[in-house]
């Protein structure tokens, strides 16, 4: 089966004009993503399956699923993104949920999924617009403790891949998130009452709330560049270890990655590597009749984006 895999970091700070710490690093990442987009255009996928996180823009603690499949989905307008509807093949999405339920995955389903920059930045980079390709959006809880384990994310992604394999479509699987980064995202356990309420109650953030949130992240990035807190710096050693594990598909090593390891070394945002693992597992199931050739296309720590930025692609025909 013809399949392409895209694993990529995102940072909303790339949508702002942040002075470069390492000259040329931002442009090199953007060029890599443009190359990926051009490869995708030549491939002409009939379906893009996205595994993405959320940053309390679409999913909240009032009801936080480990995994959710979107039957209808809208991109949010956080960080100045245009937002708008994704072109979701709704019957396929529902059939995917039925398949998952029959195979021991009690996945949630949304007829009004809100997809934030955790998916839309990367999707816009590879597709140009959110509705250019048919997209099956899948949410993976990476921000709200307790989260599904890395192992469970892998098993879930593989089952999605087994379902999609029956379609016979030309498919791109994308995992967007990571690598190591520690943004100033509030934690429910330590948040003051008013902030905790915003994490729990399902509500669209006001323009003022979005601006305040964005200003806080930009301030944290500036502080990190200057050698200060509150965020942990990206960990290049951990990123290299993870990139090796995911490209070699070392299942035992991947499954051993714990929340404690991620918190201590990869930072709060490092939990998003669940999307890479799920997407990789799905693509490998799709390529089961052939070999998935995987290549690391980019890696660099970009402090002003708060993130260890990586791009990995794979293909099988």
125-141 per-position pLDDT tens digit:
999 999 999 999 999 99
Does 71 have pLDDT greater than 70?
yes
Task: Please name which of 149, 5, 118 lies closest in space to residue 54, comparing C-alpha atoms.
Answer: 118
C-alpha dihedral, 124 to 246 to 35 to 86, nearest 10° = -20
Does 72 have pLDDT greater than 90?
yes
Task: Provide the b/e sequence for 237-249 (b: ≥16 CB within 10 Å).
Answer: ebbeebbebbeeb
CB atoms within 10 A of CB 131: 15
What was the pLDDT predicted at 139? 99
What was the pLDDT predicted at 289? 63
What was the pLDDT predicted at 209? 85
Does 64 have pLDDT greater than 80?
yes
Q: 260 CB contacts (<8 Å, ≥6 apart)?
A: none
- Specify the pTM: 0.96
Does 150 have pLDDT greater than 90?
yes
Does 89 have pLDDT greater than 90?
yes
| Mean pLDDT across 69-89 | 95
CATH number at residue 204: 3.40.830.10
Query: What is the percent of the chain with per-residue pLDDT over 90, rounded to a whole number?
Result: 87
What was the pLDDT predicted at 198? 84
Task: Please name which of 218, 171, 157 lies closest in space to residue 314, comparing C-alpha atoms.
Answer: 171
Domain of 7?
3-316
Does 204 have pLDDT greater than 80?
no
Domains in the chain, number: 1
What was the pLDDT predicted at 158? 98
Confidence of residue 206 (pLDDT cuts 50, 70, 90): confident
Does 262 have pLDDT greater than 70?
yes
- pLDDT, the chain, mean: 96
- By residue count, the chain amounts to 317
pLDDT, greater one: 246 or 81: 246
pLDDT, greater one: 203 or 100: 100
Catalytic residue numbers read 117, 181
Confidence of residue 149 (pLDDT cuts 50, 70, 90): very high
Confidence of residue 189 (pLDDT cuts 50, 70, 90): confident
- Name the strands in the sheet holding 73-75, side by side, starting at the edge strand that comes first in the sequence: 84-85, 73-75, 113-115
What does the block give as tokens for 213?
């949130």
CB atoms within 10 A of CB 189: 7
Task: Please name which of 110, 191, 101, 106 lies closest in space to residue 144, comparing C-alpha atoms.
Answer: 191
What was the pLDDT predicted at 191? 85
d(CA 238, CA 241): 5
Confidence of residue 288 (pLDDT cuts 50, 70, 90): confident
| Mean pLDDT across 208-222 | 92
Give pLDDT tens digits for 111-120.
999 999 999 9
| Mean pLDDT across 230-237 | 97
């Amino acid at each position: 089966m013809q399949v392409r895999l895209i694993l990529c970091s995102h940072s909303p700070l790339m949508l702002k004009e942040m002075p470069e710490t390492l000259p040329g690093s931002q442009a090199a990442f953007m060029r890599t993503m443009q190359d990926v987009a051009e490869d995708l255009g030549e491939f002409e996928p009939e379906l893009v399956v996205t595994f993405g996180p959320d940053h309390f823009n679409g999913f909240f603690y009032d009801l936080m699923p480990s995994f959710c499949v979107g039957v209808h989905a809208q991109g949010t307008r956080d960080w100045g993104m245009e937002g708008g509807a994704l072109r979701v093949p709704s019957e396929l999405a529902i059939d995917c949920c039925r398949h998952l339920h029959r195979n021991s995955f009690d996945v949630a389903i949304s007829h009004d999924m809100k997809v934030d920059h955790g998916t839309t930045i990367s999707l816009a980079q590879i597709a140009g617009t959110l509705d250019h390709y048919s997209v099956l959006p899948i949410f993976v809880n990476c921000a709200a403790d307790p989260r599904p384990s890395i192992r469970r994310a892998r098993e879930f992604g593989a089952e999605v891949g087994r379902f999609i394999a029956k379609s016979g479509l030309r498919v791109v699987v994308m995992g967007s998130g990571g690598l190591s980064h520690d943004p100033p995202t509030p934690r429910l356990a330590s948040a003051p009452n008013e902030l905790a309420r915003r994490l729990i109650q399902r509500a669209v953030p006001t323009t003022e709330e979005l601006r305040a949130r964005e200003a806080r992240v930009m301030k944290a990035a500036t502080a990190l560049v200057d050698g200060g807190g509150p965020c942990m710096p990206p960990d290049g050693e951990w990123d290299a270890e993870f990139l090796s594990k995911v490209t070699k598909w070392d299942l035992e090593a991947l499954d051993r990655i714990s929340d404690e390891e991620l918190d201590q070394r990869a930072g709060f945002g490092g939990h998003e590597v669940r999307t890479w693992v799920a997407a990789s597992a799905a693509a490998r199931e799709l390529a089961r009749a052939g070999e998935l050739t995987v290549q690391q296309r980019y890696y660099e720590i970009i402090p002003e984006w708060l993130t260890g930025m990586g791009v990995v692609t794979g293909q099988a025909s």
